[in-house]
Structure 1
Amino acid sequence: MERENNYELNKRNKEGNLKIKKKSIDIKKLMNMDLKALKTKLSKRLKKANKIRTPEKKRKVIAFDIGSSMIKIVEGMYYKEELTIDKYITMKTPKGAVVDGEIKRSEELYNKLGQVLKENGIKAKYGICTTNSTLIINREILIPRVEDEEMDTVVRYEIQQYLPINLEDYILQVQVLSEEEINESKKLNVRVIAYPDKIARGYYDLLIKLDLRPYALDVNYNAINKFINCVDKNNEYEYNPKDSVAFIDMGASFIDVNIYKNGNLDFTRMIKAGGNDIDELLIEQNLIKAEEVEGFKIRNIDLEEPFEPINIHVREITDDWIEKIEKIIQFYKNKNMGEEVSSIVIFGGSSKLKGMDNYMTEKLGIKTIRRKGLSKIAFKSSDDSKRIDDFINVIGSVIRL
């Protein structure tokens, strides 16, 4: 039997507080690695998506890339392979509201987001959240070749052998990667994503409180995967998507290293480090106030000027990041029988430090570029003051395949 999960929205009291309750629903073979257990029509069982294809609908969405320090928001639509972005917004995450992908202070986050949506005249009614967390488990495992209806049971048994976790606390999604024959026995190589139920519920609650219909919950490395395939696939002048290419999101608390090959996610790891390390250094040395640190970093730090005192200290921090990135790339190479990462694409806050791309190229011996622009997107907003490369994760989450 497949494990079934669903969420049913129930009114709780006269103040309109909301309560989420589990109910049986088929979430097998979730499309696009999106956790469609969070779809909106929760009073009905979802049709089996792997057997019934519903006609594509023209649906405008509001998508949130929720990080511990910053939140990126876009309003847009993906329809008939055309991506349109109406608005794109950044805001600071309320302090302590999100920790390692989990919402900890929901009321503060709701109040701030509600204010921002109102101020920017957001009209979309469908909501998407994308995030990442060290609590999200991503594993490739080999299982016996079985029929579709047996897949869930076999995967649950096998994953329990690898990980000492209570699977009742996770939403599982399985993607078949390949079929192999080992000792005359046919095996399936599958990717299993285990998404903590409590994190999923937190985002579901948030969207409902914002008066949005929860449409999908995405994971950043999957959003990037869709971005590569639908937006970035013609950028061979920068990198060849048929090769192993590392997309590195250099965030405030974490550095996400995601390696793609032939347009598919091949490997992913998170490093617990990021721009906050530099912020703390600058504040501790009384060089800048906390509220001015972002602008200061962009204006005053240059990794290609090694003799300035501040650059010396920042290079020490970035050297530690690069050492960890190098170990991940080496592990990937060893795991894949010498498969080389041919190029690196960096984005996110710390990628904007002057000279970061050249510095990483020098240190790693791998061509590193900073993603600066986007193609194949219709932007209706005339505001060009924001760096669009900050929105790769959230734009990718808008794409529904």
Structure 2
Amino acid sequence: MKNYSKWEKSNKEIDSKERKKLINFKDLANIDIGTLKNKLSKNLKKANKISTPQKKRKVIAFDMGSYMIKIVEGMYYKDELTIDKYITLKTPKDAIIDGEIKKSEELFLRLEQVMKENGIKAKYAICTNNSTLIINREILIPKVEEEELDTVVRYEIQQYLPINLEDYILQVTILDEEETNLSKKINVRVIAYPDKIARGYYNLITKLNLKPYALDVNYNAINKFINCIDRNNEYEYNPKDSVAFIDMGASFIDVNIYKNENLDFTRIIKAGGNDIDEMLVERNLVSPDEVENFKVRNIDLEEPFEPVNIYVRETIDDWIEKIEKIIQFYKNKNMGDEVSSIVIFGGSSKLKGIDEYMTTKLGIKTKRKNGISKIAFKSSDDGKSIDDFINVIGSVIRLS
């Protein structure tokens, strides 16, 4: 990348104005929320020789987790999704913390190796992740002309949050319009993505000799995944209902509620599979190297009297209590709107009996999403489940 070496210089050598001139991250980080158009500017393309992928051009997409990284190579063209390669690898220890790259060199070397081993040919790259540092808010603002929208949103969001907006990439989606006291207002969703996280992924992608195409957030990728699958297969729920998709990861549990095929609410719980791992190791039930296999072989939440299951249930009860509070908050916020069903996926969703256990505890039908056929994406099907790839597959789908 033409300006990559300059971008590595210290802040003393390149002031903030020059850095923004070199790379306009608001344009580059095409988070693609809702119907937002890709805002890659002509000046950006010219200055950095970045071009948007042409039709039928493959991409490589990365779901960057703190514990695991999922990679796919594929293409989305004319409403059809094709995924050719599915790759998982362990994230180097502490290389990514809360969505932010902390050990860029270790991460680069590992990804470079994996790409070579798997014969990755795509040159355009997408990253998706989630972080407690990403801010997601709905705000009601006066109805204004499109060119005034950004200014009004910035003013309003500053009233809600004591943050420096210069440190964030803002994306705005108009949700609906309403009339109150003879004045028209619009309800908008504002996503504020930390600039420092975006820069970390940009630098990583360019160092891998890839061309940055889009930066996505997991709840948006899931939304696109749901809608794409719904066009090809029958789902077990009515898309008009409020349905919670819960990603049960290693460090975080993402609770995302969708209604009418759009994101309606999202929250992150600072808990996950690592809690169970640490508990099992602390009780000397298993060594750290064997904890994953131990969970698969020995944990069964339908067997309540085994000591190990009692310990695990205590941890999961804490998760469920937090999930229940989020669902209740959503209900209160939406004037009694009930969550009709829950779909769980991610590493901890594989614990035997967890879906039935959550159904009993929450009183809401909970089902683990698994066994999705690759044929649904016009991809070769080797019979393996791809439920671990929901986020990264969704990120490949571009709506603009």
TM over 0.5: yes
Tell me the secondary structure at the aligned position of residue 57 of structure 1: coil
Alignment of 1:315-354 (within 5 A): 315-354=313-352
Tell me the secondary structure at the aligned position of residue 147 of structure 2: helix
Tell me the secondary structure at the aligned position of residue 220 of structure 2: helix
Pair 1:9-2:11 in alignment: no
What TM-score, normalized to structure 1? 0.90
- 1:51 aligns with none
Q: Is the 8 A contact 2:169 2:193 kept in 1?
A: yes
- 1:391 aligns with 389
Q: CA deviation at 1:286?
A: 1.8
Letter in structure 2 aligned against 1:310 = V
- 1:380 aligns with 380
- 1:49 aligns with none
Q: CA deviation at 1:11?
A: 3.5
Q: CA deviation at 1:28?
A: 11
Q: Is the 8 A contact 1:250 1:347 kept in 2?
A: yes
- 1:367 aligns with 365
Pair 1:42-2:36 in alignment: no
Q: Is the 8 A contact 2:29 2:198 kept in 1?
A: no
Tell me the secondary structure at the aligned position of residue 291 of structure 1: helix
Q: Is the 8 A contact 1:87 1:380 kept in 2?
A: no
Q: CA deviation at 1:44?
A: 3.0
Identify if the C-alpha distance between structure 1 residues 8 and 263 changes in structure 2 by more than 3 Å, giving closer, same or farther: farther
Q: Is the 8 A contact 1:62 1:127 kept in 2?
A: yes
Of 156, 163, 166, the match for 2:164: 166
Q: CA deviation at 1:172?
A: 0.3
Pair 1:261-2:259 in alignment: yes
Q: Is the 8 A contact 2:126 2:214 kept in 1?
A: yes
- 2:204 aligns with 206
Q: CA deviation at 1:55?
A: 10
- 1:96 aligns with 94
Q: Deviations over 1:378-397 (max 9, x none)?
A: 22364x45x30000000000
Tell me the secondary structure at the aligned position of residue 224 of structure 1: helix
Tell me the secondary structure at the aligned position of residue 3 of structure 2: strand
Tell me the secondary structure at the aligned position of residue 141 of structure 1: strand
Name whichever structure is richer in helix by fraction.
2
Pair 1:74-2:68 in alignment: no
Pair 1:304-2:306 in alignment: no
- 2:11 aligns with none
Inter-partner Cα distance in structure 2 for 1:158 and 1:13: 32
Q: Deviations over 1:294-348 (max 9, x none)?
A: 1111111001100000000000000000010000000000000000000000000
Gaps of 5+ in 2: 9-13
Q: CA deviation at 1:39?
A: 8.7
- 1:281 aligns with 279
Letter in structure 1 aligned against 2:262 = N
Tell me the secondary structure at the aligned position of residue 73 of structure 1: strand
Identify if the C-alpha distance between structure 1 residues 30 and 120 changes in structure 2 by more than 3 Å, giving closer, same or farther: closer
Inter-partner Cα distance in structure 2 for 1:157 and 1:249: 33
Inter-partner Cα distance in structure 2 for 1:350 and 1:289: 18
Letter in structure 1 aligned against 2:302 = E
Letter in structure 1 aligned against 2:379 = F
Q: Is the 8 A contact 2:124 2:211 kept in 1?
A: yes
CA-atom RMSD in angstroms: 2.7
Bigger mean CA offset, 242-251 vs 373-382? 373-382
Inter-partner Cα distance in structure 1 for 2:75 and 2:104: 27
Inter-partner Cα distance in structure 2 for 1:190 and 1:12: 37
Q: CA deviation at 1:364?
A: 0.5
Identify if the C-alpha distance between structure 1 residues 117 and 30 changes in structure 2 by more than 3 Å, giving closer, same or farther: closer
Bigger mean CA offset, 75-84 vs 367-376? 367-376
Q: Is the 8 A contact 1:40 1:215 kept in 2?
A: no
Letter in structure 2 aligned against 1:44 = K
- 1:120 aligns with 118
- 2:84 aligns with 86
Tell me the secondary structure at the aligned position of residue 342 of structure 1: strand
Letter in structure 2 aligned against 1:311 = N
Q: Deviations over 1:206-231 (max 9, x none)?
A: 10011110000000000000001112
- 1:144 aligns with 142
Letter in structure 1 aligned against 2:3 = L
Pair 1:239-2:237 in alignment: yes
